[in-house]
Chain A
Amino acid sequence: MSAVYLPIFVMLLFSGALAGGMLLFSMPFGPYNPTRVKSEPFECGCRSIGPNRVRFSAQFYILAILLVVFDIEAAFMFPWAVLFSKLGLAGFIEMLVFIGVLVLGFVYLWRSGGLDALDK
């Protein structure tokens, strides 16, 4: 069955080769003359003030953690969805409990303001 996965590796190779090959191919054509001004970070025409690795809102991390929670939960639901017709009513009730726990967490998240992350 592993032969089914061969096209993925071929496609990874081909698309990577296309991107890299075109970049290599374009190298001799373009000029390469990095001056001081050109190498500066872009700042709408004025001098860049302060460090460029600026701090960004920690709320982005909350979003990232939420993704992990909800995506892993989706990963559990996919195999269940495939086998659902074989699991019957018992599987349905168990998954309802699973989704129920998740919804409780979601409601807590909503009430505690975690979803208003970027609402500013």
Chain B
Amino acid sequence: MSELFTFIQGRWDPAVTYPQIVWPALVVAYGVFAVTFASLFAGITSWYERRVAGRMQCRIGPNRVGPQGVLQWLADGFKAFLKEDLVPKEADGILYRIAPYPVFVGVFCTWVILPYAPAVVGADLNVGVVFLMAITALVVAGIIMGGWASNSKWALLGGVRSAAQMVSYEIPVGFALLTAVIPAGTLSLQGIIAAQGGAPWNWMVFHSPATFIAFFVYFTAALAEGNRTPFDLPEAESELVAGYNTEYSGMRFIWFFFAEWANLYVIGAVVAAVFLGGWRLPGVGIEQQAASLWLQFAGACLFVLKALVLVNVIIWLRWTLPRLRVDQLMIMCWKYLVPAGMVLVVVAVFWVFVERGMPGFARWVAFLLCATGFFLVGLMFWRAWYNIKYGGDRLYLKFMV
């Protein structure tokens, strides 16, 4: 199983390990799996999010198509199928038609580097993190293309706003990922996971004060990059009709949103991999995990679970927080997150020397940060429980409606 270990270290060449026919077959199989996974996730999340939104706003949400409305997304898809694919007369026909593709492809291609288990990943690129930032930049191109080509004031403003927002927030994303890359010493996502441990205090998020803050910086900036509330200004319905996709209809309209929902999993999975330990199981070594099929499966389940918990948090934030103003959005990025990112990188580097000089101290800080993190989560749940019990909030905890 040593070949699997070298695979994790990023020194693995599939062409050597596998015969010439098996590797392309495996790649094609993974491609089918990833496209299916992403599509199913995006579809089901579109239903799940509306369902959660319904419960949070004291209404029911879609519950008619299939049991509990679980097939709603298929019905929506079929409806979009039967719609007219309209191209406005004065729109730039070619750009208008191809604009959904970069958005769609840019989000779906990130699935290549999202890991599931020590030996289950599309491609363990040694430039993984850079690839992630590069391929998601395609989304900006698609959105500004669609916004400009539509020949509509609303679409143009939405597209330009969106491009400004996404390129601005790419910088904090880069700095926050850099903060995690410095202690790990590799850009490969598998390598970053391998540098962490299974137990919470060995996770990257609790590694140093810098990574602890970088976790929040990354999460905030990733939300803004994915155009999610509270940063969904590009599609602010109250001011811009629908933003860059105002003129779109039918399947092309669906693809923009499909990509946005698929992006939820990308955010969750990247945070889980880079900051929250990925597929590492507590008390299990990497080689031991790579050697056992069951441990790999357990790791994959744990990884997807972590990602889904984060997706839940994102959905929850969307229906809790109000939308920011456009100037607040830019100030938040340039005057808070970017300087914070610069400081974090320096602190992360400084921490490498602290770790070398005083390993005991660094260990205690990790424990302390871990305790702080879990205390904060616990405090939140306690506050929720307190408010329900004493605040007079009435809550109907009936699962099925």
Using a CB–CB distance below 8 Å, which chain A residues touch chain B?
Answer: 1-8, 10-16, 18-20, 22-23, 25-27, 29-34, 36, 38-44, 48, 52-54, 56, 60, 63-64, 66-67, 70-71, 74-75, 77-78, 81-82, 84-85, 92, 95-96, 99, 102-103, 106, 110, 115-120
| Contact among A4, A64, A96, A103 with B125 in the assembled complex (CB-CB below 8 Å) | A4
For the complex, what is the distance from the CA of A99 to the CA of B326, rounded to whole Å?
A: 28
Asked if B53 is an interface residue, CB under 8 A from chain A, the answer is: no
Using a CB–CB distance below 8 Å, which chain B residues touch chain A?
Answer: 12-15, 23-24, 27-28, 30-32, 34-35, 38-39, 80-90, 100-101, 104-105, 108-109, 111-112, 122-125, 129-131, 148, 150-154, 156-157, 160, 163-164, 167-168, 170-171, 174-175, 178, 181-182, 185-187, 241, 246-247, 250-252, 255, 326-327, 329-331, 334-335, 338-339, 342, 345-346, 349, 352-353
Chain B hits for A23, CB < 8 A: 85, 251-252
For the complex, what is the distance from the CA of A18 to the CA of B32, rounded to whole Å?
A: 10
Chain B hits for A78, CB < 8 A: 129-130, 178, 181, 187
Chain B hits for A4, CB < 8 A: 12-14, 123-125
Chain B hits for A14, CB < 8 A: 31-32, 34-35, 108
| Contact among A8, A18, A36, A63 with B164 in the assembled complex (CB-CB below 8 Å) | A63
14 other A-B residue contacts (CB within 8 Å) besides A8-B112, A11-B108, A39-B90: A3-B13, A5-B125, A13-B31, A14-B35, A15-B109, A22-B251, A30-B84, A34-B89, A40-B88, A42-B152, A63-B164, A78-B181, A99-B342, A115-B331
For the complex, what is the distance from the CA of A110 to the CA of B185, rounded to whole Å?
A: 32
- A1 near B13: Cβ-Cβ < 8 Å: yes
Q: Which of A26, A27, A43 has the most CB of B within 10 A?
A: A26
- A19 near B187: Cβ-Cβ < 8 Å: no
| Contact among A2, A7, A52 with B112 in the assembled complex (CB-CB below 8 Å) | A7
- A41 near B150: Cβ-Cβ < 8 Å: yes
| Contact among A11, A56, A60, A84 with B109 in the assembled complex (CB-CB below 8 Å) | A11
Knowing A5-B125, A67-B168, the reply to whether A117 touches B352 (Cβ < 8 A) is no
- Shortest A3–chain B CB gap in Å is 4
Closest 7 CB pairs of A and B: A15-B108, A39-B89, A3-B15, A74-B174, A41-B152, A67-B167, A7-B123
- A11 near B182: Cβ-Cβ < 8 Å: no
- B156 near A52: Cβ-Cβ < 8 Å: yes
- A63 near B168: Cβ-Cβ < 8 Å: yes
- A118 near B152: Cβ-Cβ < 8 Å: no
B106 nearest in chain A by CB position? A15
- A12 near B241: Cβ-Cβ < 8 Å: no
Knowing A4-B13, A56-B157, A95-B349, the reply to whether A12 touches B105 (Cβ < 8 A) is yes
For the complex, what is the distance from the CA of A32 to the CA of B345, rounded to whole Å?
A: 55
21 A-B pairs with C-beta separation under 8 A: A7-B27, A15-B108, A19-B255, A20-B101, A26-B83, A30-B81, A30-B84, A39-B87, A44-B241, A48-B153, A53-B148, A63-B167, A64-B163, A70-B174, A71-B170, A71-B171, A74-B175, A99-B346, A115-B331, A118-B327, A119-B330
